[in-house]
A and B are shown apart, each in its own frame.
Chain A
Amino acid sequence: MASLSPDSAAVSALAALDTFPKLLLDHAARRGDKPANREKDYGIWQSWSWRQVADEVAALANGLAAMGFRRGDKLTIIGDNRPRLYWAIAATQALGGVPVPIYQDAGADEMAFVLDHAEVRFAIAEDQEQVDKLLAVKDRIPGLETIIYSDGRGMRHYAQPFLHAYADIQAKGRDVAAAQPDFLAGEIAKGKGADLAIILYTSGTTGQPKGVMLSYDNLIVTARNAIAREGLRADEEVLAYLPMAWIGEHIFSYAQAYCAGFCVSCPESSATVMLDLRELGPTYFFAPPRIYETILTQVMIRIEDAGWLKRRMFEYFMALARRVGARILDGERVALADRLLYRLGQFLVYGPLKNTLGFSRIRLAYTAGEAIGPDMFSFYRSLGINVKQLYGMTESSVFICIQPDGEVKADTVGTPVQDVDVRIDEGGEVLFRGPGVFQGYYKNDTATVAAKRSDGWVHTGDAGIIDADGHLKIIDRARDVGHLRGGALFAPKFIENKLKFFPFIKEAVAFGDGHDFVTALVNIDLEAVGNWAERRGITYGSFQELSADERVYDLIRDCIDKVNADLATETQLAASQIRRFLVLHKELDADDGELTRTRKVRRRFIGERYAPLIAALNGGRDSAHIETEVTFEDGRKGMLKADLKISEAKTVPVAAPAAVLRKAS
Chain B
Amino acid sequence: MSSVKTIGETLLKADGITLAFGGVKALTDISVEIKRHEILAIIGPNGAGKTSMLNVINGFYHPQHGTITFKGATRSQMRPYEAAAQGIARTFQNVALFKGMTTLDNIMTGRLLRMRKNMFWQALYWGPAKKEELAHRAFVEKIIDFLEIQAIRKVPVGKLPYGLQKRVELARALAMEPELLLLDEPMAGMNVEEKEDMCRFILDVNDEFGTTIALIEHDMGVVMDISDRVVVLDYGRKIADGTPDAVRGDQQVIDAYLGVAHG
**A residues whose Cβ falls under 8 Å from a Cβ of B:** 41-44, 153-154, 156-157, 159, 268-269, 271-272, 275, 632-634
Decide if A634 touches B193 in the complex (CB within 8 Å): yes
Determine the residue in chain B with the shortest Cβ distance to A40: B150
**Given A43-B153, A271-B150, A275-B154, 8 new contacts (CB under 8 A):** A42-B138, A42-B145, A43-B137, A43-B141, A153-B204, A156-B208, A157-B207, A632-B193
CB-nearest residue of chain A to B141: A42
Instruction: Check: B258 CB closer than 8 A to any chain A CB.
Output: no
A272 touches B151 (CB 8 A): yes
Residues of A within 8 A of B200 (CB): 154
A350 to B117, CA, bound (A): 45
User: Which residues of B have CB within 8 Å of A157?
Assistant: 1-2, 4, 207
Q: Interface of B with A (CB < 8 Å)?
A: 1-2, 4, 137-138, 141-142, 144-146, 148, 150-151, 153-154, 193, 196, 200, 204, 207-208
- CB-based contact B151/A271 at 8 Å: yes
Q: Which residues of A contact B148 (CB under 8 A)?
A: 269
Residues of A within 8 A of B151 (CB): 268-269, 271-272, 275
Total A-B pairs in contact (CB under 8 Å)? 41
Which residues of chain B have C-beta atoms less than 8 A from A268's C-beta?
150-151
Q: Provide the residues of chain A in CB contact with B146, threshold 8 Å.
A: 153
**Chain A min CB distance to B95 (Å):** 21
Partner of B142 from the list A42, A156, A271 (CB cut-off 8 Å) is A42
Name the residue of chain A whose CB is nearest to the CB of B139: A42
Closest chain A CB from B238 CB (angstroms): 32
Residue of B nearest to A156 (CB): B207
Interface centre among B148, B150, B154, B193 (most CB of A within 10 A): B150
CB distance from A651 to the nearest CB of B (A): 41
Residues of B within 8 A of A275 (CB): 151, 154
| Set of chain A residues within 8 Å of B153, measured between Cβ atoms | 43
Q: For residue B3, which residue of chain A has the nearest CB?
A: A157
A154 to B147, CA, bound (A): 12
Q: Given A154-B204, A156-B208, are A269 and B150 also a contact pair (CB < 8 Å)?
A: yes
Q: Could you tell me if A43 and B144 are in contact, using CB atoms closer than 8 angstroms?
A: yes
* Contact B204–A633 (Cβ < 8 Å): no
CA A268 – CA B141 in complex, angstroms?
Answer: 12
Query: What are some 23 contacts across the A-B interface (CB < 8 A)?
Result: A42-B138, A42-B141, A43-B137, A43-B141, A43-B144, A43-B150, A44-B141, A154-B200, A154-B204, A154-B207, A156-B207, A157-B1, A157-B2, A268-B150, A268-B151, A269-B148, A269-B150, A271-B151, A275-B151, A275-B154, A633-B193, A634-B193, A634-B196
Q: CA separation between A313 and B196, bound complex, in Å? A: 47
Nearest neighbor of A151 in chain B, beta-carbon distance:
B145
Chain B residues in 8 Å Cβ range of A41: 145
Q: What separation, in Å, do the CA atoms of A156 and B141 have in the docked complex?
A: 22
The 9 A-B residue pairs whose C-beta atoms are closest, nearest first, are A271-B151, A42-B141, A157-B2, A43-B141, A272-B151, A268-B150, A272-B150, A269-B150, A154-B204
Task: For the complex formed, measure the closest distance between the CB of A276 and the CB atoms of chain B, giving whole angstroms.
Answer: 9
On chain B, the residues within 8 Å of A156 by CB distance are 207-208
